[in-house]
Amino acid sequence: MSHKVYNWQINRKMEYEYPQARPRKQAAWVFDINKCIACQTCTFACKNAWTSGRGQEYMWWNNVETKPWGFYPLGWDVRILEKLGPQRWRRQTYKGKTIFEAAPFGEKMLGFIPEPEDYQSPNIGEDEGFEAVKKGQYMKLPHQSWMFYMQRICNHCTYPACLAACPRKAIYKRKEDGIVLIDQKRCRGYQECVRACPYKKSFFRAETKKSEKCISCFPAIEQGEQTQCVVNCIGKIRLFGFKNHWQYPNPDNPIDYLVHVKKVALPLYPQFGLEPNVYYIPALNASDEFNLQLFGPGAKDALNIYRRSYRDKKFIAALVLMGCTDKIVHSFKAHGTISNGEAIGYDANAQEIVRVPLTEPIIIRKNYDEKRNVHRISIS
């Protein structure tokens, strides 16, 4: 039996297997696509922490793929988008069908199981542009030929398809923080979660005959620490925290601020209907149409706000706090001026945990080091 639940990301009610049951606070991430350098440090930090065992060789709970041609597993999004059919929006309201509403007769949602070979090449399509660079083409904005890096983990969805699909009720969403977990004792490896998850972030482990997925580094979260993919990110593009109810955002909470107050960080494929909780600052160089398909109708406005961010002290503070501390930042503030001020982050007890400059100082080293009596090599 399905229930009517409200999904704020598509601005309407929709069908879901279970009644609405939001957690007290929701584990959530903001990824700034524009800062990612595809170094894959996050990917390996996650792999080393959680999936280095036998049967987990092909499992990348975190992966970074090059869009538009990168996929892991192969064609994960284009295949479900094609099955879903036209995805129409009228202003902020999604008028098409979610994967739950588009379920074939007798099934709970639209889905598919990738073939084993679809998992063989995690970086296929890496660094390939949207189109070939034509002869005589030169750089102008927006870029004519574009690509960007897309960081992907389980979205710890508000309406998880994996959970709805599991016939063993082995998947549960924690009331205290909204993290979605698979109970390994209950799982029998039917792979209904693998079929159902449109993001393909539930994986089957042939060795144990059970499914596994990102656990949001819950042992760290419970100690007030951010996830491995966040604390190891070289580009400082990631922020983990807890998101409040969309109607009652706290403007001093950096996740609420970026998602609900500035509306600059958007969910991936909101039209699927899962209310995912990883939020992306869209790619500046991608086409408007592509960003619309990926992030919904708010993408263009989000980027306009992002472009003007250098004038907004609080906005800069939220961005510079990314990757600056291992601890979870529950609230933040900016003080001083943009050129001279600082961003300050606080823990759950309102104790200061991090302080970073709003504007990085520029230090130009002299060619001749008087103290050491040496000339520095200049490569410029």
Site residues (vs ligand SF4, CB under 6 A)? 36-42, 64, 151, 154-157, 160-162, 180, 197, 199, 201-202, 213, 233-235, 237-238, 274
Tell me which DSSP letter residue 290 carries: H
Segment (H or E) for 333: strand 331-335
Q: Position 367: which residue type? A: N
Pick from 111, 113, 83: nearest CA to 96: 83
To the nearest 5 percent, what fractions of the chain are helix, strand and coil? 20, 20, 55
Asked if 189 contacts 181 with a C-beta cutoff of 8 angstroms, the reply is no
The conformation of residue 227, written as its DSSP 8-state character, comes to P
Query: To the nearest whole angstrom, how small is the minimum distance from the Cβ of residue 354 to ligand SF4?
Result: 18
Beta carbon nearer to ligand SF4, 39 or 124: 39
Give the shortest CB-193-to-ligand SF4 separation in angstroms. 6
154 vs 318, beta carbon nearer ligand SF4: 154
Q: For residues 163 and 353, which CB has a smaller minimum distance to ligand SF4 in the complex?
A: 163
Minimum distance of ligand SF4 from residue 74's CB (angstroms) = 17
The residue with tokens 């482990």 is: 205
Q: Which residues pair with 365 in a beta bridge?
A: none
d(CA 138, CA 120): 36
Nearer to ligand SF4, 30 or 328 (CB): 30
Quote the least distance from Cβ 216 to ligand SF4, whole Å. 10
* Rg, Å, the chain Cα set: 22
Give, for 316, the enclosing helix (H) or strand (E). Answer: helix 313-320
Closest by CA position to 161, among listed 261, 53, 42, 15? 15
Q: Which is nearer to ligand SF4, 100 or 315 (CB)?
A: 100
Taking the complex as a whole, the smallest distance from the CB of residue 164 to ligand SF4 amounts, in Å, to 8
Rounded alpha-carbon distances, angstroms, from residue 257 to 143, 248, 321: 29, 11, 13
**Residue whose CB is nearest to ligand SF4 in the complex, by number:** 235
Quote the least distance from Cβ 229 to ligand SF4, whole Å: 7
CA pair distance 320, 358, nearest whole angstrom: 7
- Residue 161 or 259: the one with the smaller Cβ distance to ligand SF4 is 161
| Shortest spacing between CB 171 and ligand SF4, in angstroms | 7
CB closer to ligand SF4 out of 42 and 299: 42
